[in-house]
Homo-oligomer: A and B are copies of this chain.
């Protein structure tokens, strides 16, 4: 991609936590140049640095900080738009932009489960991009919408993807989710310091449904849900970054632990083959130490894009069990969106 001109991109919902993380992921990106920041009308017309409460350890560059924030109107925006808009507004805004011809790479939940919208993990279901044709037809959009999964779903779906070939039938999963997944200000410190909250509202449904779609087969012009059942318990724990999940799985025909482990270790996909800029060398690593993965030690693997697996062993009730961990704001949000955009670009779907 050496001498090519970088293509301009924008961010819808740029002042929230996901917006800030998108800025962080796009800073210094070799293909994409961030030139447009959108926010609510209240913020429009002012410098980004004046309307955002920057919460990330990395510094905001002055060139981005000085950018004048735009209201969420398609007019002036680049073709490729990332969306970190809250679910309360994302449906409408993203549709308007897609209708006006933009390609939206969205982190919001609104369009994820629509039949004609790809719910994309580039290593897992790149063929789901085939839905875009159907999407244009049904929606009448000049552009399109591609989504990434919920931050808990992505950890589970990536951990299950290498095992699809063995015929996954049912999955019971418990999440231990980091607080950065709740946005800002998100969870009150009084509720979570030294504590566990035994529910993350709305996330159990997402994990149960999104996973079926992500692992589903693309046939002709639609995705056939993966024929399995997922049951999720969600919890919030006082961790900054990194969602940990404990998983039990039943297969059509149980493979050996060795076969499963080889499946984890050998897993790779389109981003690795095409050497996409945000692709980790290994989308999945298997850790041998009994007490791993841990969020503080392992969430940053592959610059936050690698999912770590450990403690693979037999399950007394289903077939096998293990622990998986992923970085919820990178692989589970901003990094996921950027990798999705890179896949779109490398497949010539951005023109």
Give the B-binding residues of A (Cβ under 8 A). Answer: 17, 55-57, 170-172, 174, 176, 179-180, 182, 184-199, 201, 208, 229-231, 233, 235, 237-240, 244, 246, 248, 250, 290-298, 300, 310-311, 315-318, 321, 323, 325
Contacts and interface: CB of A to CB of B under 8 A. Distances in A.
Most buried by B among A171, A189, A230: A189
Number of copies: 4
B229 A316 contact: yes
Contacts of A197: 291, 294
Contact of A193 (B193, B229, B293): B193
Given A185-B185, A195-B239, 15 more contacts: A55-B190, A57-B296, A170-B316, A172-B318, A176-B196, A182-B190, A184-B190, A192-B193, A196-B237, A198-B244, A198-B246, A208-B316, A233-B246, A235-B246, A250-B317
29 contacts: A170-B316, A170-B317, A176-B176, A179-B190, A182-B190, A187-B188, A187-B190, A188-B188, A188-B189, A189-B238, A193-B193, A193-B238, A193-B240, A194-B194, A195-B239, A195-B294, A198-B246, A198-B294, A198-B311, A198-B323, A199-B311, A199-B323, A229-B316, A231-B316, A231-B321, A233-B321, A235-B246, A237-B237, A317-B318
